[in-house]
Amino acid sequence: MAKQKKQKKQPRPRALPPKGFRDYFGAEVREREEMLGRIRDVYELHGFEALETSAVETVEALGKFLPDVDRPNAGVFAWQEAEEEAEGAPKPGDWLALRYDMTAPLARVYAQFRNDLPTPYRRYAMGPVWRNEKPGPGRFRQFYQCDADTVGAPSVAADAEICAMLADTLEAVGIARGDYIVRINSRKVLNGVLDAVGVADEAMREGILRTIDKFDKVGEEGVRELLGKGRLDASGAFIDGVGLSPEQAEPVIAFLTARGKDGAATLANLAAAVGGSASGAEGVGELETIATLLEARGFGPDRIVIDPSVVRGLGYYTGPVFEAELTFDITDEKGRVRRFGSVAGGGRYDDLVKRFTGQSVPATGVSIGVDRLLAALRMKGRIGGGAARGPVVVTVMDRARMGDYMTMADELRAAGIRAEVYLGNPRNFGNQLKYADRRMAPVAVIQGEEEAARGVVQLKDLVLGAKIAESASLEEWKARPAQEEVAREDLVAGVRAILERQG
């Protein structure tokens, strides 16, 4: 008889998320929700309405607007559906993809429901987006965005409102005035400069845009080299340049460095940089209008400035563009002192809805990088400074009385106090207290057979107990007992009193 071949054992799956993804636990989720709640309050105060769109769109609807992406469907997580013909045979269907931002889905929604929506339509959206890009330190393939947009308003008053609301939002979540700046520029002004130097080729214009967007990283001289023949980067690799002549590159550099001692000086420098370009002159005029509107509302240069170095990498911007930068210093993973940098950006995109309708629809908006803003708030000590408070834990001394313990938890919840009953093995009471510590519970409720007979409960102040155990002598234990007895009917009042003492 032939020997049966032994089947190879299936390896266990690795308990790891995919590369570029991560998990979020209780405290992180609560901090994010708290921050988003504050942002939501500001947006709704300004009259914006919530919108939730599908996480999945057709690739056709998303379009190709990711920067530095030349391959079809590159930069997104995409797959092709299989459709069935009449006889049941599969055939290729639509390409679908996870959304890479909140703006492309908004354009699709507005085009679809434009006859039912008010004009202008003001909406905000919060949620995860996905980008199929190479992950790195602090760079994930799934991250949260928080957007606010106005669709159908041609006046740059809408852009000014978005910028002012962005400044208000940063202060509402805990970024102090002086720790941020909102910077505004115009894509029309840059187009005017490119017209003035005679760059008509669309591919070259996009290359110039991407190069200018690196100004903060490589500086003036680095941009000048990249606009020309190219440069050696820090690793020694040569990066090809755009190919402008020195005469063509200098007006672009002059545009980038046009910021003057005040807004009026900056606008004058920009007007000179665009030469006789009608598009450039229109952009300068729009920036002047925005500056006037913001000044009338009290938004001075300590909060919002005109800054020609702001370009924004996405190709769909058609007018004013803006960026919120946090100006305080941080220390990176190599010990170098750096500015924290950008946490939000946006601009005007008047042609995005046109892809669906064939008609130009004015639109402007801003997107906040939720994870970066949360990281900034942690660095400033605005969130995450203290230990998170878990639920009150009702311990179990007698399995037969589980209904009584659940009733205690219900009473606490009815009073607005987080509470849970211990549902593990109750045999070892020490393990129950260890569990309460791991849950960061402020109080443990204890009622054994003897306490039940007397109609009382024991309340153990776990916060005080931990502090005393760390630093106090036995005498102090006796002087400041971390456990007290209250009547069963006073359970809620007793727990609330302990929570108030804990602050």
CATH 3.40.50.800 range(s) for the chain read 392-502
SS3 for 378-426 is: HHCCCCCCCCCCCCEEECCCCHHHHHHHHHHHHHHHHCCCCEEECCCCC
Contacts 24+ apart (CB under 8 A), 496-501: 496/415, 496/417, 498/442, 498/443, 498/459, 498/461, 499/417, 499/442, 499/443, 501/461, 501/464
Domain with CATH 3.30.930.10 in the chain: 26-57+103-379
Distances (CA, A) of 178 to 80, 181, 317, 327, 351: 49, 7, 28, 8, 35
**How many alpha carbons fall within 13 Å on the CB side of residue 383?**
22
Token reading at 490: 């006073």
Q: Is the dihedral of CA 206, 209, 210, 211 positive or negative?
A: positive
Longest C-alpha distance within the chain, in Å? 96
Q: What confidence score (pLDDT) does residue 1 get?
A: 54
26-57+103-379 CATH pick, 3.30.930.10, 1.10.15.40, 3.40.50.620, 3.30.465.10: 3.30.930.10
Q: For domain 392-502, which architecture applies?
A: 3-Layer(aba) Sandwich (3.40)
Q: Is 445 helix (H, G, I), strand (E, B) or coil?
A: strand
pLDDT of residue 92: 67
Instruction: Give residue 349's pLDDT.
Output: 92
Low-confidence ranges of the chain (pLDDT < 50): 67-69, 474, 477-478
Query: Rounded to the nearest 5°, which phi and psi values hold at 49?
Result: -110, 150
For strand 230-232 and strand 90-98, is the pairing parallel, antiparallel, or unpaired? unpaired
Is the pTM higher than 0.85? The answer reads: no
CA distance 61 to 58: 5
pLDDT computed for residue 85 by the predictor = 64
